[in-house]
C-alpha cells in the first residue's frame, strides 16, 4: 500500500522565482511558490508522488474532468512562527473532507495520512515562501481531477492529484456586505453541496455576480427548497451572535460545506463556556433579530478570509445595518485567539497545528 512505501521524489528548481516577489503586495492566489506536487492514479493504484518545479501541465482535449466535472479541491494555510517553526492549521480535517469529496464524486480516495504527509512535504520544500509578516500565510491548494482521454460519462479510470502553494495576504480588507439570496440555489438536498467540488463554485458565479453588481461582496445562500433557512455565505460558513449565544446553521443537511474554520470557532467557544447552537437558522429569525436590535454579530468563517465581519445584509429591498465591528466582542476574541494559535504565539492546547 502507498502508506507503507511513501517516498516522494523531489526535483528542485534551478531557477527560484522567490527574489522576484514583492512581499509587500501579495494579491490572493496570484503568486505561486517554486514547486508543486504531482501524484497520478492509474491501473487501480496511486503512483509515486513527485515534487517538481511549478509550471504548466499538458492536457488532452478530451480530459474528462473538463467535460464531466470530476474535480475536487481543498484549501488550508501554513504559517511561520517567530521562532521559525512551520505550522499547518488542522490539515487532518482537510484530509478528511478531501476523502469525503472523493467518495461523493466517485474518485479514488487518498488515505488521510498520505494526504497530510504530502502537504507537509511540499510545504517543507517551499518553506522560504511562507511570508513572515503578520496576517500573511502560505495558502495550500491540493486538488484532484479526472484525466481519462475519453468522451462518455463514467467515472474516470485515471486521475491526477496535485498540490501547489501561494503566499497570500488577507482576502477581505474591509467588513463585508452580503445579500440573502432567495432565487438561486447553491446546493440541494441529495446534491453535492457537502463536497468541495469545482462545479459548486462554477454554478455560484452567475448569482454572485448579480449580487456584486448590486454592491454586495457575497450572497447568503438559503435552502434550495423554500429559501427560508440560511446555509452559508459565498465561500464561508456563516455564524451569528444573538443573546451572547453563537448560532450557526447545522451541517446535518448535505448542502453545507463542513468548514474547518467554523468548527474551530465552535470548539473554542465551547471551551470558553460560550453557548453554541448548531441548528436550522431561519431568514426570518435573523431579519427580526436585526430589526429588534438583538443581533450582536454576524461573520463569515473560512480559511481564506479567517473571520470576516458582516456589516450589511441585503434582504429583498432593504439594507439592514449590523452593529459596528468594534462592538463585536466574541468574534474579535475568537479571531485573535485563532490568529495567535496559527502563528504559534500561544500554546496549542487543542493540538491543532501540525509542525512541519
Ligand X SMILES: Cc1ncc(COP(=O)(O)O)c(C=O)c1O
Interface with ligand X (CB under 6 A):
75, 232, 235-237, 257, 259-262, 301-303
- The residue (of 261 and 296) whose beta carbon lies closer to ligand X is 261
Residue 253 Cβ vs ligand X, minimum distance, rounded to whole Å: 13
User: Which residue is associated with the grid cell 435552502?
Assistant: 223
Closest of 138, 133, 30, 125 to residue 78, by C-alpha: 138
Strand pairing partners for 233? 220, 236
Q: Measured from the CB of residue 262, what is the shortest distance to ligand X in angstroms?
A: 6
- Which residues, 6 or more positions from 314, have their beta carbon under 8 angstroms from its beta carbon? 177, 178, 179, 180, 211, 214, 216, 320
Cα–Cα distance measured from residue 89 to residue 317, given in angstroms and rounded to the nearest whole number: 40
Question: What residues contact residue 29 under an 8 Å CB cut-off, 6+ apart?
Answer: 139, 166, 168
The CB-of-237 to ligand X minimum distance in angstroms stands at 5
The Cα–Cα gap between 118 and 112 comes to 10
Q: Which is nearer to ligand X, 63 or 138 (CB)?
A: 138
> Which of residues 75 and 108 has its CB atom nearest to ligand X in the complex?
75
198: left (phi over 0), alpha (psi -120 to 50) or beta: alpha
Residue with smaller CB distance to ligand X, 261 or 331? 261
Minimum distance from residue 28 beta carbon to ligand X (Å): 13
Q: Say how far apart CA 32 and CA 18 lie, in whole Å.
A: 9
Q: Which is nearer to ligand X, 49 or 211 (CB)?
A: 211
**Residue 31 beta carbon to ligand X: minimum distance, rounded to whole angstroms:** 20
Whole-number minimum distance, CB 294 to ligand X, in Å?
Answer: 25
Closest CA to 344 of 172, 163, 141, 130: 130
Which of 249, 344 has the CB closer to ligand X? 249
Reference 219, options 181, 188, 257, 248; nearest CA is: 181
Minimal distance, residue 304 CB to ligand X, in Å: 7
Of 93 and 286, CB closest to ligand X? 93
Amino acid at each position: 500500500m502507498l502508506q507503507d512505501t511513501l517516498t516522494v521524489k523531489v526535483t528542485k528548481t534551478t531557477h527560484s522565482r522567490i527574489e522576484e516577489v514583492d512581499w509587500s503586495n501579495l494579491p490572493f492566489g496570484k503568486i505561486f511558490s517554486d514547486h508543486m506536487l504531482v501524484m497520478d492514479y492509474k491501473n487501480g493504484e496511486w503512483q509515486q508522488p513527485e515534487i517538481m518545479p511549478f509550471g504548466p501541465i499538458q492536457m488532452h482535449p478530451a480530459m474528462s474532468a473538463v467535460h464531466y466535472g470530476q474535480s475536487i479541491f481543498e484549501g488550508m494555510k501554513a504559517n511561520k512562527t517567530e521562532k521559525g517553526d512551520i505550522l499547518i492549521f488542522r490539515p487532518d480535517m482537510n484530509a478528511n473532507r478531501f476523502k469525503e469529496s472523493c467518495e461523493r464524486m466517485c474518485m479514488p480516495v487518498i488515505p488521510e495520512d498520505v494526504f497530510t504527509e504530502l502537504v507537509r512535504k511540499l510545504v517543507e520544500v517551499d518553506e522560504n515562501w511562507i511570508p513572515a509578516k503578520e496576517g500573511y500565510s502560505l495558502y495550500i491548494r491540493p486538488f484532484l481531477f479526472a484525466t481519462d482521454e475519453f468522451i462518455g460519462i463514467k467515472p474516470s479510470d485515471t486521475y491526477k492529484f496535485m498540490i501547489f502553494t501561494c503566499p497570500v495576504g488577507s482576502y477581505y480588507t474591509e467588513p463585508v456586505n452580503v445579500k440573502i439570496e432567495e432565487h438561486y440555489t447553491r446546493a440541494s438536498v441529495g446534491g453535492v453541496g457537502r463536497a468541495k467540488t469545482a462545479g459548486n463554485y462554477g454554478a455560484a458565479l452567475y448569482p454572485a455576480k448579480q449580487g456584486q453588481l448590486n454592491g454586495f461582496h457575497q450572497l447568503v445562500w438559503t435552502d434550495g427548497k423554500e429559501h427560508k433557512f440560511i446555509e452559508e455565505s459565498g465561500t464561508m460558513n456563516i455564524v451569528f451572535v444573538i443573546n451572547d449565544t453563537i448560532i450557526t446553521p447545522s451541517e446535518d443537511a448535505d448542502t453545507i460545506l463542513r468548514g474547518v474554520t467554523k468548527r474551530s470557532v465552535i470548539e473554542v467557544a465551547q471551551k470558553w463556556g460560550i453557548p453554541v447552537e448548531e441548528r436550522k437558522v431561519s431568514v426570518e429569525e435573523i431579519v427580526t433579530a436585526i430589526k429588534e436590535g438583538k443581533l450582536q454579530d454576524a461573520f463569515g468563517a473560512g480559511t481564506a478570509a479567517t473571520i470576516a465581519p458582516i456589516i450589511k445584509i441585503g434582504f429583498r429591498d432593504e439594507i439592514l445595518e449590523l452593529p459596528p465591528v468594534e462592538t463585536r466582542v466574541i468574534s474579535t476574541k475568537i479571531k485573535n485567539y485563532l490568529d495567535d494559535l496559527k502563528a504559534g504565539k500561544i500554546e496549542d492546547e487543542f493540538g491543532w497545528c501540525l509542525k512541519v
